[in-house]
A and B are shown apart, each in its own frame.
Chain A
């Protein structure tokens, strides 16, 4: 048995690793445990979009800070600030776009509406069917596949021990803190942080706490390498499409189309019925995709709660246990909100308000 840690972080995604790094900076002895490899959940399989245009109004200050975090991580995470367009193809979408992006601009995102001429010059390969579009110069993407590699390196550099393929199967409170059962032996810690994303519900259930977390099963696809077709992040007014061409020429296509499966059963599954319209919409927006071949499609489980706000704070009713999970936009916000979480656990005043996991979720 190893010595008692100040805190054991369950879940080695962006949230868990970034919080561990913050707490270690503050002097805590932290460890990170993951049921698989680091960064292979939502943190590592999402489409990597960093777009203020798809962030919630109330979360805009967090998203702006998040963008700074990604920029600072830079090449190591494949960060590219490309600017991004959100497209409307119908009058109805155009109205929706104006209404929503105006509110987001008011919340601090540098979003502007652009003329059709502007977008045709900037992205000549997009369909001529665009009737209106918004643009945000801050938008871009990072390479989510690099999440595990990046945080493995950071944890190692900071001397924070981590264990992969180490699922926590039971949590007991032992007076001085917590004892965690794992296949690699018992791990004890004075505090615990649950940062298991879409798996938060079963994690909290080990301490008899019911968190109202379920999972969205987002589909992402990638093409083979193509000649340069687009240089920015492309979105759609309904949110049904995100698309960007990586520097290697592959085009990554998402949009929140739902696969099936549950985190408890393991990996989610792509469904053809959802994949096909997703790709058809991508081809509608970027007709040259017609000749591209899809190499791979996959799903990632994203945590979801009834009011769609993050969970950042104390686990209700259990002294010394904390929860950190994001809902929509977790990739963008994660590296920043993890600092707030770390500060809270370190007993420091967080820069921005947290989101109480014990709140009444019906309120908003």
Chain B
């Protein structure tokens, strides 16, 4: 089939795969990409539960505004769409309850 905008994914060269963990599960991504991008690629979309109704939530605006992609990294609440993936980081989901 003629494609005017062909699939170029094979032409994209990325940094080596590195591992990190999300809630203890090992996930791979490429060093330097956003944490949210690595999580989305891995199919790990459900990042947190909404505090009011425990509705599952994940990355939405991807530009640092909506605060839906919050995760916890080194004790700090961070926007995963604005965090650069580093090898070996341990990321946990944000829990609002007493078991925090």
Chain A interface residues toward B at CB < 8 A? 224-228, 248-249, 291-293
Across the interface, name the chain A residue whose C-beta is closest to B52.
A248
| In the assembled complex, B100 has its CB within 8 A of some CB on chain A | yes
A307 to B98, CA, bound (A): 45
Q: A residues within 8 A CB of B24? A: none
Contact of B96 among A249, A291, A292, A293 (CB under 8 A): A249
Task: Decide: A227 near B100, CB < 8 A? Known: A291-B75, A291-B76, A293-B77.
Answer: yes
The complex places the Cα of A43 from the Cα of B76 at a distance, in Å, of: 34
- Given the interface contacts A227-B97, A227-B100, does A291 sit within 8 Å of B51 by beta carbon? no
A-B contact count (CB 8 A): 21
In the bound assembly, the distance between CA atoms of A224 and B100 in angstroms comes to 14
Complex contacts, A291 vs chain B, CB 8 Å? 75-77
Q: Is the CB of B96 within 8 A of A227?
A: yes
Residues B69-90 near A (CB distance < 8 A): 75-77
Among B52, B96, B98, residue most surrounded by chain A Cβ atoms (within 10 Å): B96
CA distance A224 to B97 in the complex (A): 13
Is the pair B98, A227 in contact by a Cβ cutoff of 8 Å? Answer: yes
Closest to B75 in A: A291
Q: In whole Å, how far is A124's beta carbon from the nearest beta carbon of chain B? A: 14
How many chain B residues sit at the interface, stated as a range, is 10 to 19
Known contacts A291-B75, A291-B76, A291-B77: does B51 contact A225 (CB below 8 Å)? yes
Kindly list chain A residues whose C-beta atoms are within 8 Å of the C-beta of B44: none
Look across to chain B and name the residue whose beta carbon is closest to the beta carbon of A224. Answer: B77
Interface residue B95 (Cβ < 8 Å from any Cβ of A): yes
Given contacts A227-B95, A228-B100, A293-B77, 15 further A-B contacts (CB under 8 A): A224-B77, A225-B51, A225-B96, A226-B96, A227-B96, A227-B97, A227-B99, A227-B100, A228-B98, A248-B51, A249-B51, A291-B75, A291-B76, A291-B77, A292-B77
Residues of A within 8 A of B51 (CB): 225, 248-249
Query: Which residues of chain A have C-beta atoms less than 8 A from B100's C-beta?
Result: 227-228
Q: Which residues of B contact A249 (CB under 8 A)?
A: 51, 96
A226 to B72 Cα, complex, angstroms:
12
Residue of A nearest to B95 (CB): A227
> Distance (Å) between the CB of A69 and the closest chain B CB?
29
B37-91 with Cβ < 8 A to chain A:
51-52, 75-77
* B97 CB → nearest A CB, Å: 7
